[in-house]
Homo-oligomer: A and B are copies of this chain.
Amino acid sequence: METTAIITTEQLLKHWQGHRQVTRKLIEKFPEQDLFNFTIGGMRPFSEMAMELLSIAVPSLKEFTSDTPGTYQHLEGISTKQQILDLWDKSTEEINQYWTQIKPERFQEMFNLFGMYNSTIMDSVFYFIENEVHHRGQGYVYLRALGIEPPFFWERD
């Protein structure tokens, strides 16, 4: 589809990584115990939400670039904040690497992500970003309930 681009793939990557920086700051703000234990209304602790985000990001890009649907596997076996932050930083690098292998024309193609979510790659990328913003918004409430000032929503670097 040749037309006027309202956003480029490079801009979209930068936008996503900007959000990931905010989420990283949020993880850092949590006291270690609360990251793994604090919850409201029967929801998951923020550590579990962060692990979901990590379980989605790089594995999805690997599926797109190999053009092979796999299965969703929730990352486990993490018990410290530093481990999550290390995984976060490793994912940041891997996202940059895999992203450049996705040709712009593929964003409008259908792909059955995790063998379950059949949509365009663009819609899946929207999902990655917005699912992160959604859960991070929940993390903001956790921090506020703990009396901790969250990072600014608009500080993306």
Give me the interface of A with B, judged by CB distance under 8 Å. Answer: 1-9, 11-12, 15, 19, 40-43, 104-105, 107-108, 122-123, 126-127, 129-131, 133-138, 140-147, 153-154
Q: How far is the CA of A15 from the CA of B138 in the complex (A)?
A: 22
User: Distance (Å) between the CB of A17 and the closest chain B CB?
Assistant: 13
Contact in complex: B104, A3 (CB < 8 Å): yes
Q: How far is the CA of A136 from the CA of B136 in the complex (A)?
A: 11
Count of chain copies:
2
Which of A7, A11, A19 gathers the greatest number of chain B CB atoms within 10 Å?
A: A7
Contact in complex: B137, A107 (CB < 8 Å): no
User: Distance (Å) between the CB of A152 and the closest chain B CB?
Assistant: 12
